[in-house]
Amino acid sequence: MKNKAIIGISGNFAVDYNHKMVPGVEKAYVFNYYVEAIALAGGVPVILPIVSDPKAIKKQVESVDGLLLSGGHDITPFAYDQEPHPLLQDVLPRRDDFDFKLIECALEAKKPILGICRGMQALNVMFGGDLYQDVSLAKEYTLKHVQGNPLKDPTHTIDLVEGTRLQNIFKTKSIRINTYHHQAIHQIADGFYPSAFAKDGMIEAIEKDGDSFVMGVQWHPEMMAAEHPTMLKLFKFFVKESISET
């Protein structure tokens, strides 16, 4: 009998200095769009809060069927042997360490991984790739990659690489996406290949070699999934890949 897939969503961390009752309170959270997208796709969303104990992280991964790496802070450039550029924004090294360990554990357990925005960048850095610390540093940069439109609205087009899982999911040559990133992949990691590009050449999706589902997308499909059925296809495929048999 097939169970519903339990999808672990990597959590984020923030300090709320504007809280009325307890200024400076620490929060573990994810944006609800991730939760809603997994639920709409038929999965069971579970938030994985940031912890530092490797054994605890391994248990977190063991408790789920698939791993969704959510967005958030910039990844520290020290993780890919660079010094901070003036355009670098807030980093959270404890989140970097957590995400890298989640990826390691999920790969060891052969559990599907979907990285979104920062999550895609974490996959690339984890395996030896690097990033543009700001998209303006890329010579090919000609598009607006940080949109000002409503979150669910598509604002630019990406071309899908023929024969990739992503192209197989969407069954088309191009789609329009939303986009909220000021960093981007520069050198792609060994063992990965690009599966989508923006019209200015920016890498918008990556996939890992092999049979396991390990994919990253640079845009935010979770924000579009409720109103754009096409975008929900990605989450349905991911959830299906994560379903365990009992």
* CA distances, 246 to each of 1, 3, 28, 83, 239 (Å): 6, 7, 32, 48, 16
pLDDT tens digits for range 84-112: 999 999 999 999 999 999 999 999 999 99
d(CA 49, CA 9): 9
Catalytic residue among 181, 222, 228, 241: 222
Q: What is the CB-side half-sphere exposure of residue 5 using CA atoms within 13 A?
A: 27
Mean pLDDT of all residues belonging to the chain: 94
115-143: average pLDDT: 94
179: domain CATH number is: 3.40.50.880
Only one residue has tokens 């991911």, namely 238
Tell me which amino acid residue 57 is.
I
181 counts as catalytic: no
Q: Give the contacts of 133 (CB within 8 A, at least 6 positions apart).
A: 74, 77, 82, 84, 85, 87, 88, 183
Domain count, the chain: 1
- Domain assignment present for residue 66? The answer is yes
pLDDT tens digits for range 38-94: 999 999 999 999 999 999 999 999 999 999 999 999 999 999 999 999 999 999 999
Which ranges in the chain belong to alpha helices (H)? Answer: 32-40, 54-62, 93-108, 118-126, 165-170, 221-224, 229-242
- Domain assignment present for residue 86? The answer is yes
Q: Is residue 117 classed as helix, strand or coil in its secondary structure?
A: coil
Catalytic residue among 145, 156, 181, 220: 220
Whether residue 121 contacts residue 73, with contact meaning beta carbons closer than 8 Å, is answered with: no
- Domain assignment present for residue 1? The answer is no
d(CA 84, CA 78): 8
Give the DSSP per-residue string, 147-208. Answer: --S-TTS--EEEEEPTTSHHHHHHTSSEEEE--B-S-EESSPPTTEEEEEEETTS-EEEEEE
**pTM for the predicted model, two decimal places:** 0.95
Catalytic residue among 117, 145, 156, 241: 117
pLDDT tens digits for range 182-228: 999 999 999 999 999 999 999 999 999 999 999 999 999 999 999 99
CA angle 150, 154, 157 (to 5 degrees): 150
Q: Which domain holds residue 197?
A: 6-242
108 counts as catalytic: no
d(CA 76, CA 94): 10
- Domain assignment present for residue 191? The answer is yes
Q: Is residue 135 classed as helix, strand or coil in its secondary structure?
A: helix
CB atoms within 10 A of CB 156: 18
162 counts as catalytic: no
Residues in the chain: 246
Give the DSSP per-residue string, 49-89. Answer: -----HHHHHHHHHT-SEEEE---SBPPGGGGT-PPPTT--
Tell me which amino acid residue 50 is.
I
